[in-house]
Structure 1
Amino acid sequence: MEKAQVFLPLLGLCFIFLISGVSSATFTLVNQCSYTVWPGILSGAGTTQLSPTGFQLNPGQSIPVSVPAGWSGRLWGRTFCSQDSTTGKFTCVTGDCGSGALECTGGAAPPATLAEFTLNGAGGLDFYDVSLVDGYNLPVLVTPQGGTGAGDCTATGCVVDLNGPCPAELKLMSTGTGRGGDECVACKSACEAFGDPKYCCSGSFATPDTCKPSDYSEFFKSSCPRAYSYAYDDGTSTFTCASADYVITFCPAPSTSVKSLGGQYAGGGSNVSSLMSSSGISTSAPLPFLTSLMISTVAVLLQ
């Protein structure tokens, strides 16, 4: 009885922490591209800056980043980066953050594929998405790991190469790839390409009722159905999970869950598991620390 009086309050405290989802998360960034990617990270206003905010990620390499509870912000991959041998200035052909250095102090210059997060938001849930609103530069997959089951905890992303089929008027061409010749390195949004308020959801088009999908946003949506294709594409593009870690994969491996034409997801369930497995991502994860602590506490009580 004395043990119960001592440990029951601890058990209650563990339970409160567990359901409130206040633990920190780990983002594991994985590069499955055949080329080097330089991830950039931008924290939202009023949230803790992560460290580092930019680094080099070689092909086949993975790097974990610790993320505090309540963090919000975005991650992206910079491509074709180099450092000027005279000035020391660091620049990237796509996704450049304007810092002139390896680490970022600002956001990505469009076009860039963005992975966006708000951890421990409404109802203690994490909200996450992959956005093509600012255009596209490389495939990105976000996969929750070890969530508690609250929310849908579904993998999302844009896992196909859109630079090849990108409409000519949206293509960002560059000779800065080091491969010789002028080639498409990214696909602009219609807003970036034309600056028209009807594509930017601005001015008189700044509401869901007035800003509708365009042929250009439908190009992105048909290829990547789970990614944001324009500003008000919330219904099919925002996902939630609780107390999860996240794997952000650049250029995830091909999968039978992705249709050969357009790269659409073939559906959920086992197809998502297939996509995760083909990307070298485990669909299981160890119990969170607090869950283990609760189990240990109960074991003591039962002795």
Structure 2
Amino acid sequence: MASDNSILSPVVLILILVSAGAKVCESARIFTLINDCKETIWPAIFPGENFSGGGFELKSHQSIVLTAPVAWSGRIWARTGCNFDKNGNGTCQTGRCGTSLKCTGSGETPTTLAEFTLATTDFYDVSLVDGFNIPLAITPMNGKGNCSVAGCDGDLRPNCPKELAYKANGKTVACRSACDVFNTDEYCCRGMYGGPVTCQPTNYSKKFKAACPTAYSYAYDDPTSIFTCSETDYIITFCSSRNKTVCTYHNKKLHCNGLEGRKSLMGKWWPLMLGLPLLITYYG
């Protein structure tokens, strides 16, 4: 588990990095994970050997900066409603990957997934093919190419069809996929439906798409759901609007998606940095 000092509020964290002049591997990708949810989440990453062991706690309005290895391909998601003991043993309401804080495999459905394949040109998407548990957005920063914001900032839980509702303690905490519930070839895009021509949107996937137009709603939802970018860093934000100002650190500079956002954030947080520069050692 990351130490308490290694997880800070998003902007304070980035500004500390700028002040300390941190050095980051230029060929790697910097991932900034931000929790904008009202509650604590437990992000999971698979494969996660290079990401705090694949799992950690992230409290409301905190963030963490991680370095993705070159050519990494994998997925990131949030676990919710978790209860881990001091040894990292426990379980979660959604997204669990066994009974450990550190994930060694893919999470259980239903989960909202951020998926990446890092190469000369990166491919990334947010997928609801395995269902939905919380909103999730991917914002590329300083990249070349299309570099669109991917994600789902709508909340499917309040209007989840009752037959897809995943409940805990009487409350809908996630929305399952139709494939997960009904397990038919049509909903799972297999058998005679195992191709882009025969596998078409269903009433359920259309509801997902209406709420989340830049996320995968079913297996062959490629044209509006998968994005590409080169030489970029990524901000993965949980429970946030896709057009919200977010920031990351690159080449010893603070970068935000919007000049006005950067100015206002710098003015607000810069005075808080004076007593904190030593915390950069947790990110070296």
TM-score of the aligned structures, taking structure 1 as reference length: 0.71
CA distance in 2, matches of 1:108, 1:63: 20
125, 132, 149: which is aligned to 1:129?
A: 125
The partner residue of 1:226 within 214, 220, 244 is 214
CA RMSD of aligned residues (A): 2.3
- Distance in structure 1 (CA, Å) of the matches to 2:65 and 2:252: 17
Structure 1 residue 207 displacement after superposition: 1.0
**Structure 1 position 96, deviation (Å):** 0.5
CA deviation after TM superposition for structure 1 residue 43, in Å: 2.3
- Residue pair 1:146, 1:285 contacting (<8 A) in 2 also: no
How do 1:89-238 residues align onto structure 2 when only pairs under 5 Å count?
89-98=89-98, 100-120=99-119, 124-147=120-143, 149=144, 151-175=145-169, 182-238=170-226
* 8 Å CA contact 1:143, 1:276 repeated in 2: no
* Structure 2 Cα separation of the partners of residues 285 and 28 of structure 1: 9
> Deviations along 1:112-145, whole A, 9 cap, x unmatched?
000000011xxx2111000000000000011011
Q: Which has the higher contact order (CA 8 A, sep 6+)?
A: 2
Residues 216 and 55 of structure 1, relative CA distance in 2, 3 Å threshold: same
In 2: Cα distance, 1:72 partner to 1:113 partner: 17
TM-superposed deviation, 1:161? 1.1
- Give the whole-Å Cα distance in 2 for the aligned partners of 1:233 and 1:49: 30
Paired residue secondary structure (2:52): coil
Matches of residues 73-92 of structure 1 in structure 2 within 5 Å? 73-83=74-84, 89-92=89-92
SS of equivalent to 1:276:
coil
Instruction: Report the AA paired with residue 179 of structure 2.
Output: C
Task: Tell me the number of residue pairs that the alignment of Structure 1 and Structure 2 aligns.
Answer: 229
What TM-score, normalized to structure 2?
Answer: 0.76
Please state whether the residue corresponding to 1:135 is helix, strand or coil: coil
Identity within the alignment, %: 49
Runs of 5+ consecutive residues of structure 2 not aligned to the other structure: 1-25, 254-284
Counterpart-to-counterpart distance in 2, 1:88 and 1:276 = 33
Q: Deviations over 1:135-178 (max 9, x none)?
A: 0000001101111x2x2111110001110011111100111xxx
